[in-house]
Amino acid sequence: MNRERALKVVLAIVGLLFTASVYPLVTFIRREPALSMMFSLYVTLGIFLLLAVRHPSANRSLIAFAAWSSLAHAALMGVQASRHMISHGEWGGVALFAAIGVALLTLAPAKQPAHRAAALAL
């Protein structure tokens, strides 16, 4: 499997996973309003990642945002879990978000030269 195809598969899986967080968003809307707000961001990001599957190289900044925000989320969750601020059961989430971030950064499309980018825009 080539790198672009692998990226498309990862984008589709992560996009579907994030979009599926619409269910907890609706479930927690009254009990945990702050959590619902966070899920609304992930649902939106998931939809845009699914759209990026068609042309990943045109969506480099979106892929970078998804990667770095996932790593930031993993780091914060890791600190919170290690300080007993959240359940130790959240270590699975830390691993998941870290894996998403690393996978997206590893497979992210390379920056294109200006003349090639201009040709793609046509």
What's the CA angle centered on 103, arms 99 and 27, to 5 degrees?
A: 50
What's the pLDDT at 31? 85
In a domain, 120, yes or no: no
Range 56-77 average pLDDT: 96
In contact, 90 and 106? CB cutoff 8 Å: no
In a domain, 31, yes or no: yes
In a domain, 118, yes or no: no
In a domain, 57, yes or no: yes
pLDDT in tens, 95-119: 999 999 999 999 999 887 766 656 6
> Lowest-confidence range among 56-60, 73-77, 113-117?
113-117
Domain of 24, in residue numbers: 3-109
Q: Which two tokens stand for residue 100?
A: 């998403």
pLDDT in tens, 5-50: 999 999 999 999 999 998 887 787 788 888 888 889 999 999 999 9
Total-model pTM: 0.84
**φ, ψ at 108 (rounded to 5°):** -55, 140
In a domain, 81, yes or no: yes
Nearest to 66 by CA among 19, 113, 100, 32: 100
In a domain, 115, yes or no: no
- The CA distance from 45 to 73, in Å, is 14
**How many domains does the chain fold into?**
1
**φ, ψ at 31 (rounded to 5°):** -80, -40
